[in-house]
Structure 1
Amino acid sequence: MLAATSVSAEPPVTDWRVLVPGEYHGDEAPARPGPGWLALVPVGGVWRLEPAIVRATRVHDPVLDAEGDRTGIALTSNRSDTLVLLRLPDLQPGKVDTPALKFSGGARLISLGEAPLKLQFRSDEYVIEGRKAGIEVRTGGMRVVLPDLAAARPDSEDAASLLWAGDLDRDGRLDLLFSYSGYNRGGVCLYLSSGAPAGVPVRLAGCHGGVGC
């Protein structure tokens, strides 16, 4: 099962901005997801944000539950091809422009000391590089180090990978979706360009992840 980051147990529905379908401990996902969710899905060779119905079903938690108890939560979407579920005021349904991603296998690991990942989007080049303090993102004269994410290194189980990139908020700049992992944990974090401080390319919009069972 997976656990949410940066949220408390049984938060108000409005606190959940990013969700990943899967099974969770009871305090790691909303028991009542509510309406207004958008699924990031591939459709006919392009990416789209599509309205989605998110359901939370109580299930047996093999770690915490006694026999017959059902305190775990299974999150599902009516879109089986969902990469991530989002509910943020800057996002609207429709086609999402993306750069040409020159890596395969679903994600690109960002490692300390390795050559940076470069993405061309419209007239801008984005560079993503592993640093000791986190993952650095820079484009033009803007840069930021994302301390919530750790670059992969031989002496640590913590790591982060670029999972997806595209203009979710339609402001002409890239938004980034990273997956992260560590000892008995994993999840995703979304970074949006809209609302970022001056000189900063992206800001943390929300995370959802979890601890293993």
Structure 2
Amino acid sequence: MLSFAAAPAVSGEPAIGWSFLLPGGYHEGEAPVHPGASWLARVPVGKRWELLPAKIRSTRVEDTISDEPGQRTGVAIASSRKNAQALLRMPYLTPGPLEVTDNDTGENGALIEADSPVDIRFKGVDFRIGTKNKRVFLVKGAQRTPSRN
């Protein structure tokens, strides 16, 4: 599970936490055993994407890589929403339609690989997403997201 503190919505407020999961199997410690409430699922609706409220199920399963027969240290994450591709929880994120890039990246989207940035167009503006030193960055014109150590 990716879980980070994001910038506060109001200056002086504490940072807000967010979580991101993909449905599927995880090793112990990579996904919550008790994911809690307030999740949104990114799901296809017709020819667009939407964030819809979802219940997340977490089940202990045998980790085929590290478990002995009969052990169940792995975690399987599933959504109550059929065809959910991503599961998100963030305090200011709300359900509804998503605006997506102008690019046709195919069914699985564009893959970001080391030293091979992806150029996208969103609302008529060009962006570049890339990696350097195992960190992801976003570039818009002369602006670039800061690196975090």
Q: TM-score, normalised by structure 2?
A: 0.74
Residue 186 of structure 1 corresponds to: none
Shift of 1:28: 1.8
Deviation at 1:96, TM superposition (A): 0.9
- Deviation for aligned residue 1:110: 3.8
**8 Å contact from structure 2 (residues 43, 84) kept in 1:** yes
Match of 2:26 in 1: 24
Deviations 1:26-85 (A, max 9, x none): 222111111100001110111100011100111122333333222221111112311110
Aligned to 1:121: 122
Structure 1 segment 32-181 matched on structure 2, within 5 A = 32-110=34-112, 117-129=118-130, 131=132, 134-144=135-145
- CA 16–136 in structure 1, closer or farther in 2 if over 3 Å, else same: closer
TM-score normalised over the length of structure 1: 0.54
Read off the aligned partner of 2:128 and give its amino acid letter: V
Report percent identity of matched pairs: 36
* Aligned partner letter, 2:97: K
Q: Which runs of 5+ in 1 are unaligned?
A: 8-13, 149-213
Provide the aligned C-alpha RMSD in A: 3.0
For 2:130 and 2:101, the matched residues in 1 are separated by 17
Contact 1:129 1:137 in 2 (8 A): yes
Q: How far apart in 2 are the matches of 1:146 and 1:105?
A: 30
Count of paired positions = 138
Maintained 8 Å contact 1:38/1:86: yes
- Structure 1 23/113 Cα, relative in aligned 2: closer, same or farther at 3 Å? closer
Query: 1:40·1:85 contact (CA, 8 Å) conserved in 2?
Result: yes
Cα contact 2:20–2:87 (8 A) shared by 1: yes
Structure 2: unaligned runs, 5 residues or longer:
5-15
